[in-house]
Each structure stands twice: as C-alpha cells, then as structure tokens.
Amino acid sequence: SCGAKAGDSDDKDDGFYMRRCVELARKAIGCTSPNPMVGCVLVKDGKIVGEGFHPKAGQPHAEVFALRDAGDLAENATAYVSLEPCNHYGRTPPCSEALVKAKVKKVVVGMIDPNPIVASRGVQRLRDAGIDVVVGVEEESCKRLIEAFIHKMLTGKPFVTLRYSLSVNGHLLNQLGEGATDSGGYYSQLLQEYDAVILSASLIANSPFPTSQEPGANQPLWILMAGGPSYPVQIPPLTENAASRVIIFTDKEATEEPETAKKGIETVVLNQINLNRILEYCKTRGLCSVLVDLRGSFVELEALLNDGTEQNLFQKIIVEVLPLWDESCGGSSLTALKSFERRLKVNNLQPKISGQSIVLEGYL
Ligand code: AOF
Ligand code: ZN
C-alpha cells in the first residue's frame, strides 16, 4: 500500500536474507563433507548484524559463527539459516540452544534437516522456547545447495553425477570444452564440489590427474577404473600424500606387484566391475558425492553406466555440448551411449554457458 516502506514487511526480505545465507554457505564449497554447507545471517532493524557459515566438519556450525559475529546485537534479532538448526550434541553442541541463549526473537529456516537425528527437533526446541519459527523460505535453493547431503541422509548412498561431452551432431567426445578446466570453468568447479571422481585409467596414462583450479580447492579422490590394457595402471608423477587420494578398481589380478602398489596406491580387485561395490567403498571412506567422468576408454566405464541406469544409481547428469561438428563416424561408444540414454528419464534440464560450450544439468 501507499505508506509501506521497504523493510516494513518481514516476509518481503526473507528471500533476500536466505539467498545471502546460501551465498555464505557456498564459501565452504568442497570443504564440509560429510557435513552440509550451511549459511546464517542475523538481522536486526533491517540490518545484517552477523554472518557465518560452516567451514568444515568438526568446526562450529554456521549459527555459532553468526552469533559470535553479532555479539550482543543478536538479542531480539531474526536469524536466517539455510538448514534447520541442529538440536544434538555431535562434533559440536546444539545450535538451537545457542540461539535460545542468545535470545534471538525469530528464526527463519530454509529447509528441515533430513538428518534423522535432527529432523524437526531443532525447530521444535526453538518453538518450545517461545521463538517464532518460519520454515521453507527459498527452500529450492537451500535443497540444491546440499543435494548430495540430502541424498546421502535419505538413502545412505553417495550422490552420483554422470558427466560427458557431446559434439553438436551428438557424438560422445573425449575432450572438454575450452576453459572448462580453468579456474571458474564448470569442470574445475565440479572437481572442487565432488568428494570423488571416477575416471577411466586410460585417461591418466599420459596426462596428469585432473585437478580443480579454484583457489584453495580441495581435490577429489581419484577412482580409476582399470580393465584391459590399462592394467597395471601407468600413474603420472604424484606427490607423496597424493597416493592416498588415488584408488584403482580392476577386474584383473596382477602377476607381480605393480608400480602403483609400490607407490602406496590401493588397488581393489573385483570379479566384475560393479558400481554398487564402488559406492560401498566410497561410503566406507565417508564420501558423499561422486562424479562419473565419461572420458577415456569407454569400455572401462560401460559396466558402470549399465549399473547406474539399471539400478537407478545416478542422481544427476551433466552434458556439455561443444561448438564442434565431429566428423568421425562415432564408433561403438556412440551406439553404446545411445542405449543408456534411452533408459534415462531426465527432469529439470537447466542450461548454462561455460566458455563456448553449453552445459546442461538435469536430475534423474
Ligand atoms: C546446523 N548448522 O552449520 C550445520 C549443521 O557433527 P556435527 O556436530 O558437526 O553435526 C553434524 C550434523 O549437523 C550434520 O549431519 C547436519 O545434520 C547438521 N549440520 N547444522 O545447525 C550447520 N553444518
Ligand atoms: Zn548446529
């Protein structure tokens, strides 16, 4: 109405502050696993008086950093949190208690925590203390932010994304688009975001391990699929600690100790390459998200594609379309990929531009 000033209505600004929470949370991208990324802002009289995000598992939660930042100004403030405040003693004490103690007047929550040990208990605790609680502001972005965490909590399995590149005429390509691996490129960002990346061992036979170029990025665990001529695997030079970040899966028994074992790299021999077994392994290592990168020898990844499509193990698909007309006749990999594509149902396809490529992300 005529007399209304900006900020008069709390609801009007809720989305804005929640988007700020998501932005803050993303500062810790690739650093919080197995915990989710969470952001928090404290707002009083239309001003942000405190901000925080969860930097790493074992460290304090977003709310604690925001409360510290606000100090005494937290009293009577509204707290915005992208995820429901926890109500349990985990690696850290409950955020619900911290908010009650700080005497905030209202809490706006992006989404309920899917973690069964929280699951609405945080909200309940706040309401019991007489605090006004609103749930579900910018819920879609809050869920997107922690899609891997949600999936892991609800199914117990890591979140798996399948990625590949196509030419405009629909051929599967081994290369990535220009700029994809540079800082800010979509592929570099994926490597930062995912806990592990599954690669054909043939891909690294003559080239270094793909690494994220984002400043300060944590690198993913490299899971190498080595069958046929790629085993034993030819590993590019590695720094000492990096050996623990490589794992080889093969269906071949080595006759003598391969070079990789001497370098301290673990090899798991499976009778048959099986995505479920690999995901089990990821789970034991506490990994929440896995990127399957369809480059190199298609034969080595074909079994994974089969399992992923038949057993619904893929949650997301990322297809990069390069501005390129491939004149080779496509070969067997193209035919094989077609049979997988036919079995997938993809929803919510969203395009974005990366360099000169179009990158489409969708959910399965
Ligand atoms: C929050 N704020 O910033 C985060 C939350 O072991 P802990 O103590 O770190 O607890 C981990 C669980 O807490 C995690 O699984 C998720 O349910 C929740 N994460 N909660 O209130 C935060 N990161
Ligand atoms: Zn907490």
Per-residue pLDDT tens for 257-277?
A: 788 888 888 888 888 888 999
Predicted pLDDT at 331: 67
Residue 335 CA to chain centroid, in angstroms? Answer: 30
Show the tokens assigned to 122: 């945080």
Strand partners, 246: 222
- State which ligand 1 atom lies nearest to the alpha carbon of 58: 9
- Could you tell me which of 146, 95, 87 has the C-alpha nearest to residue 120? 87
Per-residue confidence band for 234, with pLDDT thresholds at 50, 70 and 90:
confident
Phi, psi of 87 (to 5 degrees): -135, 30
The stretch 247-252 carries a mean pLDDT of 89
Q: What average pLDDT does the chain have?
A: 91
8 Å CB contact between 142 and 83 = yes
The stretch 45-52 carries a mean pLDDT of 96
| pLDDT of 128 strictly over 90 | yes
Q: Which residue has the tokens 């209304």?
A: 4
| Strand order across the beta sheet in which 78-81 lies | 47-53, 39-44, 78-81, 106-109, 132-135
45: Cβ contacts below 8 Å, ≥ 6 apart = none
CB atoms within 10 A of CB 351: 11
Instruction: Select from 21, 24, 29, 61 the residue to mutate for testing ligand 1; criterion: most ligand atoms less than 8 Å from CB.
Output: 61
List residues with catalytic annotation: 63
Predicted pLDDT at 330: 66
Question: What residue's CA is closest to ligand 1, atom 22?
Answer: 61
- Could you tell me which of 297, 294, 296 has the C-alpha nearest to residue 341? 294
What is the phi-psi region of residue 248: left when phi exceeds 0, alpha when psi lies from -120 to 50, beta otherwise?
Answer: beta
- State which ligand 1 atom lies nearest to the alpha carbon of 149: 15
Judged by average pLDDT, the poorest of 1-5, 232-236, 348-352 is 1-5
